[in-house]
Amino acid sequence: MSKIGLIVAREWNERVRKKSFVVTTLLTPLLMVGMIALVSWLSSRGADSVKFIEVVDRSGFVAAQLENQPDVVFRTTAEGVSPEDAMCNREEDTWGILIIGEDVMTNGAYVELYSFGPSTMEVEQAIRHEIERVVEERKLEANNLAEVRRVLDQMQTTVNVRAYMLDENGARSSVSSVLSYAVSYVFGFLMYMFVLIYGSQVMTGVIEEKNNRVLEVMVSSVRPMELMMGKILGVAAVAVTQFSLWVVLVLGLGSVVLNLILPEDLMEAARMGGVPVEAVGGGADEMAQVLSLISEPTYLATIIGGFLLFFVGGYLLYAAMFAAVGSAVGSATDSNQFQNLVTMPIIVALVVMFGVINNPDGALAMWFSMIPFTSPIVMMARLPYGVPWWEVAVSLVLLYGMFAVMVWMAGKIYRVGILMHGKRVTFRELYKWMKYKY
């Protein structure tokens, strides 16, 4: 095995065998899937949080026509009961008292809600919507326009748009804007976190070994460039290992959770690969289309494969810079001035990503997905929407090409910096180190 291979194996073994690696690798997918399952479960148990409201109706016509909502149930009190009596004689599960003024037809401002717990916008909106509906129908009847409501209800139409993307040959593929938005956001943010976290690990490791004088011993038998590349590739192997395990765990746990919380017709439609509206109903069409896409091997391969390619390239690029910073400073505190310069492009890419998600084919998206320092995050935000293969290829070539240049520059800094102690390095000195000939 080559010297670089030995260093890679050492870095991988040292980090993978740590308890922190095992714990984070196992707990992160469990927490992600668990949080999604918990939110879905709580949403499905919305009936447990129903608000029972006593209605004191001074108008004489609103309370009788109020319709119960999934989270709001109206109880009409006896006519003529005062608000004070309603509060004193309320049932144990009463959540609030609703007082409707007698002139609500002309003065909609006189509606008061007294609750025995914190109110929410959803509850108040449901109450307001019901009162408005009753008052509007009353006004229509008073003007002999009662049929208008029925005609308007018949005219209301729900449209479900199923989107497809056509390639150059006219072949269509199913797409979902909801899924594309979610995947772009999640994987773009994961790219940001992975590159920053694992890249900074390289810098931290170099600083620790430099202070412990371990590097001085290793340099006696290994060239500085080999040492730097071994450390960079070793941490990269750890990152790929952890991500691969996360993918397997999330897909496995996610499929179990989806089978438990989603209706059988949606799961069956996803397994069949088609999403016919007749099979699942118009309201569930979007969800079935999402399930169909995430269960499609080609889609998964595109997203996961693209993430790995751009993560490895982005990590290698930034890890080389972080390694150079770690070798040039004596402590983590001294690294701030250089580290801020390295992390700035990553932050810019994250900010640009939010605009790219809403316009993945714009000029901003295209150019920032070609710049090597921002392409890993920005291109990851574009991939779920579909990107021409040549743009992906050009972006990867530029990314890995810049990595080769950066490794050459970082190597020159690294071979001088790892042997230097007790001195604050300036940007001018770093430039001189890069000009040295060996």
Q: Contact 316/377 with Cβ under 8 angstroms?
A: no
CB atoms within 10 A of CB 25: 17
Secondary structure of residue 265 in the 3-state scheme: helix
CB atoms within 10 A of CB 42: 11
Burial class (CB in 10 A: 0-12, 13-18, 19+), 166: exposed
Q: pLDDT tens, position by position, for the chain (438 residues)? A: 577 787 788 778 878 888 877 887 888 777 777 776 666 566 555 445 678 888 888 777 888 888 888 778 888 776 656 666 666 767 777 888 888 877 777 766 678 888 877 777 778 888 888 888 888 888 777 777 667 667 777 777 655 555 555 556 655 555 566 777 888 888 888 888 888 888 888 888 877 777 776 666 676 677 777 778 888 888 888 888 888 888 788 777 766 666 665 555 555 555 554 444 444 444 445 555 565 666 667 777 888 888 889 989 999 999 888 888 887 776 666 667 778 888 899 999 999 998 888 888 888 889 999 999 999 999 988 888 888 889 999 999 999 999 998 888 888 887 777 767 666 777 777 777 776 665
pLDDT of residue 31: 78
CA dihedral 332, 335, 341, 347 (to 10 degrees): 10
Secondary structure of residue 385 in the 3-state scheme: helix
pLDDT of residue 367: 92
Q: How far apart are CA 253 and CA 36, in angstroms?
A: 11
Secondary structure of residue 310 in the 3-state scheme: helix
Q: How far apart are CA 166 and CA 173, in angstroms?
A: 7
pTM, whole model, 2 decimals?
Answer: 0.65
pLDDT of residue 394: 94
Secondary structure of residue 226 in the 3-state scheme: helix
Q: In the chain, what are the domain boundaries?
A: 3-32+176-435, 50-151
- Residue 47 tokens read as 């009936």
50-151 is classed in which CATH architecture? 3-Layer(aba) Sandwich (3.40)
pLDDT of residue 36: 66
Q: Contact 414/318 with Cβ under 8 angstroms?
A: no
